[in-house]
C-alpha cells in the first residue's frame, strides 16, 4: 500500500468518526459525558486537519475551486428563504 492510499484511508476513517461523534453528542443528555465527547471530537478534528494539510502539501488532495461571490450569495439566499418559512 502506498502513502497516498494510506493517507486517504486515514482521512476516510477520521471523517467517519467525526460523523459518529456528531450523532452521539446530539443524543447525549449527561453533561460530563457530552463534554468528554466534544473534547474527543475536537482532537479528532485536529487530526483530520493535520492529515488534510499533509495530503494538500503532497498533492494527494486537490480541493475544488472556490465558489464565486454569486454562488455564495445564491446558496445563502436559499438558506435564508428556508429559515423564514
For 2, residues 6+ apart whose C-beta sits below 8 A from its C-beta are none
Query: How far is the C-alpha of 42 from the C-alpha of 28, rounded, in Å?
Result: 16
The pLDDT of residue 61 is: 85
- Distance between CA atoms of residues 56 and 34, nearest Å: 32
From the CA atom positions of the chain, what is the Rg in Å? 17
pLDDT class of 66 with cuts at 50, 70, 90: very high
pLDDT of residue 54 exceeding 60, the answer is yes
Q: Is the pTM of this model over 0.95?
A: no
Residue-level pLDDT at 63: 84
Amino acid at each position: 500500500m502506498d502513502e497516498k492510499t494510506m493517507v486517504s484511508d486515514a482521512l476516510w476513517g477520521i471523517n467517519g468518526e467525526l460523523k459518529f461523534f456528531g450523532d452521539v453528542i446530539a443524543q447525549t443528555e449527561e453533561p460530563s459525558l457530552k463534554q468528554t465527547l466534544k473534547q474527543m471530537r475536537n482532537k479528532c478534528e485536529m487530526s483530520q486537519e493535520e492529515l488534510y494539510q499533509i495530503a494538500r502539501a503532497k498533492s494527494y488532495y486537490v480541493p475544488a475551486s472556490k465558489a464565486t461571490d454569486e454562488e455564495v450569495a445564491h446558496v445563502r439566499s436559499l438558506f435564508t428563504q428556508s429559515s423564514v418559512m
